[in-house]
């Protein structure tokens, strides 16, 4: 095997068998469990005996070409080339697009597009555990009909256990994910092959002519069916989002060699079964299995859906941390569950919010068929945002001509738009759930961003530039006392308000002073040689700038300890001075009242800087100030 080079110039080793196994467990859980409900839901639109040869072959053709065009061509072959220093995901793509774009207005548009996609991803993360677990446990209705009334309670128990185990981290459990998903995909392909061998003519659905004929014959109904067909590509965004963990070569290899063939074989096997026995449309996935295998498949499917849900939950943690680092959410609790892997984190606030949302969805919709209406909008909305951002990146960064970029991604945008608008028809049936959630989260994030920008502008207006302060310091006769004071400041060119308040009330300055500024850059991770900048501003006074990527969690004490040789940092002698703003509404607020209310609520519930930057609480001095915005 040869080495591959990532888009950031780093050399990645060729994918090993262990890496491919891990890819199956982490990346392909969501899309790998779609056969449980995608075909069944799509064919359910043809009610009253309309499910004939044309409908089955047409839907199979639509599913096949959705997998080929949306997943294989758009994501696997194209979008995954647009990595932000090896990382993927819609926020990484947004940062990349903003970096190569010109004009503040365009950057704001791209930022809003990325945030909208991220908010819809959160909606997807709440719906996935609900629909996946429900669809797996519903297999009991086939294998053991007398247990049908326990489907809902069992589903809730599985979901509760899944979310309650999150604080342990995914490291240990992750080792068994891969083998389970390998068995799952092999089982999918094998079950499909058996039925295809009995009815091989179903393979003619590989021809796109069947999809075209279905659309021409059924018109509006075929357009409505597209809203369910899109369920077969849910999880496509995970391929891109998890690229930083495994690299594009491993994800591409697993998709082309095992995942895509297994999915196609299973869908076509289900179609062959329904053509042979129309009654099988009730639950074609489980009816593919012989009677003795149905209960083991329920257990295997439940394990696979838990894995799919785990991938979305972990993805939501990563997305939330990125939003915090990029300034779109207030500081949240981030707990690291691994001493080796930076990416393995647990966010209790996000976990609790998702658990409540999933339980509400399960109790409100009660079945996977009902939930399917809510699922598609979240997925297709993210697809649209990704296509738009990718057009900018491939035009600017990869120097595609405008005609090529617009033609290629315009084609995919049209496909995504058809999927999205067909799902809009399902808004009354449940499609309103991700829309409401996405709009609410977008309003919340943009309000926080706007409020922080106003706060920074007000802070600059009231602050003193650092240069004249240092110039006057020798003549000020300020008493210098022993010790090391660390002042956190958002802008390295201004005097921290906490220092000014300390001078005003205590009339002293420590012998050794560090002005520390934490900056988040539009890269996933910052290399060790670019992490810090240290400058001596005056005798005993240093400025330290710490840079972190949006996939990293800041740790100020550890970073300062690494600089011990340059600044003589002793963690047992350091005192940290922080300014705490008490926010109040101004007489003439610069934000609408609802945005101001949202911002104030978020600010009051933000995690303290001491916890977020991992500063020892017994070494902190906080000095408060009232700020009107």
* pLDDT over 90 (residue 596): no
Both tokens of 470, joined, read 């240092």
CA 495 to chain centre: 37
Contact indicator for 261, 68 with CB cutoff of 8 Å: no
Task: Read off the pLDDT band of 165 (50, 70, 90).
Answer: confident
Contact indicator for 419, 462 with CB cutoff of 8 Å: no
* pLDDT over 80 (residue 167): no
Q: Is the dihedral of CA 222, 227, 231, 237 positive or negative?
A: positive
Min mean pLDDT across 4-18, 181-195, 490-504, 602-616 is at: 4-18
Please give the full DSSP string across 410-438, using - where no structure is assigned: HHHHHHHHHHHHHHHTTGGGTTHHHHHHH
Of 278, 365, 388, which Cα lies nearest the Cα of 56? 278
Q: Please state, in angstroms and rounded to a whole number, the distance separating the CA atoms of residues 494 and 489.
A: 8
Tally Cβ neighbours within 10 Å of residue 212.
14
Structure confidence at residue 10 (pLDDT): 46
Q: Which residue has the higher pLDDT, 408 or 333?
A: 408
Q: In which element (H, E) is residue 370 found? A: helix 368-396
Structure confidence at residue 522 (pLDDT): 73
Q: Which residue has the higher pLDDT, 550 or 10?
A: 550
Contact indicator for 267, 35 with CB cutoff of 8 Å: yes
Alpha helices in 138-168 (DSSP H): 140-143, 151-164
* pLDDT over 90 (residue 427): no
Number of residues written out for the chain: 629
Tally Cβ neighbours within 10 Å of residue 402.
9
- pLDDT tens, position by position, 542-563: 999 999 887 788 889 999 988 8
Structure confidence at residue 6 (pLDDT): 45
| Percent of the chain residues past pLDDT 90, beyond the cut | 27
Q: Please state, in angstroms and rounded to a whole number, the distance separating the CA atoms of residues 466 and 292.
A: 77
User: Looking at residues 154-158, what average pLDDT do you find?
Assistant: 90
User: Looking at residues 313-329, what average pLDDT do you find?
Assistant: 84
- pLDDT tens, position by position, 337-358: 665 555 567 889 999 999 999 9
- pLDDT tens, position by position, 265-284: 999 999 999 998 888 888 89
* pLDDT over 70 (residue 314): yes
* pLDDT over 60 (residue 9): no
- Tell me which range, 81-90, 388-397, 492-501, is most confidently predicted by mean pLDDT: 388-397
Task: Read off the pLDDT band of 22 (50, 70, 90).
Answer: confident
Structure confidence at residue 565 (pLDDT): 72
Across all residues in the chain, what is the average pLDDT?
85
User: Looking at residues 177-193, what average pLDDT do you find?
Assistant: 92
Distances in whole angstroms, Cα of residue 271 to Cα of each of 51, 234, 284? 11, 20, 8
Task: Read off the pLDDT band of 174 (50, 70, 90).
Answer: low
Tally Cβ neighbours within 10 Å of residue 432.
14
Structure confidence at residue 120 (pLDDT): 87
* pLDDT over 80 (residue 72): yes
Please give the full DSSP string across 63-116, using - where no structure is assigned: HHHHIIIIIIIIIIIIGGG--BTTB-SHHHHHHHHHHH--SHHHHHHHHHHHHH
Q: Which residue has the higher pLDDT, 514 or 147?
A: 514
Please give the full DSSP string across 564-584, using - where no structure is assigned: HHHH---TTTEEEEEEEEEEE
Structure confidence at residue 172 (pLDDT): 56
Tally Cβ neighbours within 10 Å of residue 365.
21
Contact indicator for 607, 330 with CB cutoff of 8 Å: yes
Q: Which residue has the higher pLDDT, 155 or 568?
A: 155
β-pairing verdict for 541-548 and 508-520: parallel
Min mean pLDDT across 14-28, 151-165, 474-488, 507-521 is at: 14-28
Contact indicator for 140, 302 with CB cutoff of 8 Å: no
User: Looking at residues 204-208, what average pLDDT do you find?
Assistant: 94
* pLDDT over 90 (residue 245): no
- pLDDT tens, position by position, 32-41: 889 988 999 8
* pLDDT over 80 (residue 143): no
Name beta bridge partners: 579.
623
Of 128, 102, 118, 165, which Cα lies nearest the Cα of 37? 128
Structure confidence at residue 82 (pLDDT): 86
Structure confidence at residue 501 (pLDDT): 82
User: Looking at residues 232-261, what average pLDDT do you find?
Assistant: 86
Task: Read off the pLDDT band of 125 (50, 70, 90).
Answer: confident
Min mean pLDDT across 4-13, 76-85, 151-160, 506-515 is at: 4-13
3-state secondary structure 521-564: CCCCCCCHHHCEEEEEEECCEEEEEEEECCCCCCCHHHHHHCCH
Name beta bridge partners: 490.
none
Contact indicator for 601, 330 with CB cutoff of 8 Å: no
Alpha helices in 144-289 (DSSP H): 151-164, 171-198, 208-218, 220-229, 236-241, 243-246, 248-254, 260-276, 284-287
* pLDDT over 90 (residue 262): yes
pTM assigned to the model: 0.80
* pLDDT over 70 (residue 150): yes
Q: Please state, in angstroms and rounded to a whole number, the distance separating the CA atoms of residues 385 and 280.
A: 37
Distances in whole angstroms, Cα of residue 211 to Cα of each of 23, 56, 73, 223? 31, 10, 18, 11
Contact indicator for 342, 550 with CB cutoff of 8 Å: no
Structure confidence at residue 611 (pLDDT): 85
Structure confidence at residue 35 (pLDDT): 92
- pLDDT tens, position by position, 455-497: 887 777 777 888 888 888 888 778 888 889 999 888 888 888 8
Q: Please state, in angstroms and rounded to a whole number, the distance separating the CA atoms of residues 371 and 423.
A: 12
Q: Please state, in angstroms and rounded to a whole number, the distance separating the CA atoms of residues 68 and 534.
A: 51
Q: Please state, in angstroms and rounded to a whole number, the distance separating the CA atoms of residues 297 and 284.
A: 13
Per-residue b/e over 115-141, b at no fewer than 16 CB within 10 Å?
bbbbbbbbbbbbbbbbbbbbbbbbbbb
Structure confidence at residue 546 (pLDDT): 93
* pLDDT over 60 (residue 115): yes
Structure confidence at residue 386 (pLDDT): 93
Min mean pLDDT across 18-27, 225-234, 291-300 is at: 18-27
* pLDDT over 50 (residue 428): yes
Contact indicator for 231, 372 with CB cutoff of 8 Å: yes
Structure confidence at residue 171 (pLDDT): 55
557 half-sphere exposure, CB direction, 13 A CA radius: 18
Structure confidence at residue 12 (pLDDT): 54
Q: Please state, in angstroms and rounded to a whole number, the distance separating the CA atoms of residues 472 and 246.
A: 54
């Amino acid at each position: 095997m040869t080495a591959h080079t990532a888009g950031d110039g780093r050399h990645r080793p060729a994918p090993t068998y262990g890496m491919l196994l891990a890819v199956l467990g982490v990346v392909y859980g969501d899309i790998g469990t779609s056969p449980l409900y995608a075909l069944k839901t799509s064919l359910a639109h043809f009610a009253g005996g309309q499910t004939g040869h044309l409908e089955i072959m047409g839907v199979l053709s639509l599913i096949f070409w959705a997998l080929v065009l949306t997943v294989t061509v758009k994501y696997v072959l194209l979008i995954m080339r647009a990595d932000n220093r090896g990382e993927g995901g819609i926020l990484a793509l947004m940062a990349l697009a903003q970096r190569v774009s010109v004009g503040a207005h365009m950057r704001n548009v791209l930022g809003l597009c990325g945030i909208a996609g991220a908010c819809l991803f959160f909606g997807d993360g709440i719906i996935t555990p609900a629909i996946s677990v429900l669809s797996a446990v519903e297999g009991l209705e086939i294998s053991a009909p007398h247990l049908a009334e326990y489907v809902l309670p069992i589903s809730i128990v599985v979901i509760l256990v899944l979310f309650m185990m999150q604080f342990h981290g995914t490291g240990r459990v992750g080792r068994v994910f891969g083998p389970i998903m390998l068995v799952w995909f092999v089982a999918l392909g094998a079950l499909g092959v058996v039925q295809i061998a009995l009815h091989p003519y179903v393979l003619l659905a590989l021809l796109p002519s069947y999809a075209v004929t279905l659309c021409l014959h059924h018109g509006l109904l075929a357009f409505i069916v597209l809203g369910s067909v899109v369920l077969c590509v849910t999880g496509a965004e995970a391929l891109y989002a998890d690229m930083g963990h495994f690299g594009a070569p491993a994800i591409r290899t697993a998709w082309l060699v095992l995942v895509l063939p297994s999915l196609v074989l299973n869908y076509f096997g289900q179609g062959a079964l329904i053509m042979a026995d129309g009654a099988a449309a009730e639950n074609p996935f489980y009816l593919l299995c012989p009677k003795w295998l149905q209960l083991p498949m329920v257990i295997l499917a439940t394990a696979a859906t838990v894995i799919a849900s785990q991938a979305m939950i972990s993805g939501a943690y990563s997305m939330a941390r990125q939003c915090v680092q990029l300034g779109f959410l207030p500081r949240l609790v981030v707990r690291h569950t691994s001493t080796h892997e930076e990416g393995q984190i647990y966010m209790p606030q996000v976990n609790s919010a998702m658990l409540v949302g999933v339980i509400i969805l399960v109790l409100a919709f009660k079945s996977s068929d009902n939930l399917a209406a809510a699922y598609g909008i979240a997925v297709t909305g993210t697809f649209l945002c990704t296509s738009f951002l990718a057009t900018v990146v491939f035009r600017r960064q990869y120097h595609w001509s405008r005609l090529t970029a617009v033609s290629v991604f315009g084609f995919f945008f049209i496909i995504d738009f058809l999927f999205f608008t067909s799902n809009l028809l399902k808004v009354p049936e449940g499609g309103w759930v991700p829309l409401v959630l996405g709009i609410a989260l977008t309003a919340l994030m943009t309000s926080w961003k706007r409020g922080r920008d106003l706060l920074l502008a007000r802070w600059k207006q009231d602050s003193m530039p650092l240069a004249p302060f240092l110039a006057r310091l020798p003549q000020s006769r300020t008493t210098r006392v022993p010790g090391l004071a660390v002042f956190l400041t958002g802008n390295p060119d201004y005097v921290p308000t906490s220092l000014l308040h300390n001078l005003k009330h205590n009339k002293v300055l420590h012998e050794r002073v560090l002005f520390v500024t934490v900056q988040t850059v539009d890269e996933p991770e910052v290399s060790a040689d670019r992490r810090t900048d240290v400058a001596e501003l005056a005798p005993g006074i240093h400025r330290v700038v710490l840079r972190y990527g949006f996939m990293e969690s800041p740790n100020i004490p550890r970073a300062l300890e690494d600089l011990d040789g340059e600044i003589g940092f002793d963690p047992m002698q350091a005192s940290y001075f922080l300014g705490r703003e008490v926010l109040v509404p101004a007489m003439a607020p610069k934000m609408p009242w609802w945005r101001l209310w949202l911002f104030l609520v978020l600010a009051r519930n933000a995690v303290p800087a001491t916890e977020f930057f991992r500063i020892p609480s017994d070494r902190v001095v906080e000095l408060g100030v009232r700020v009107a915005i």
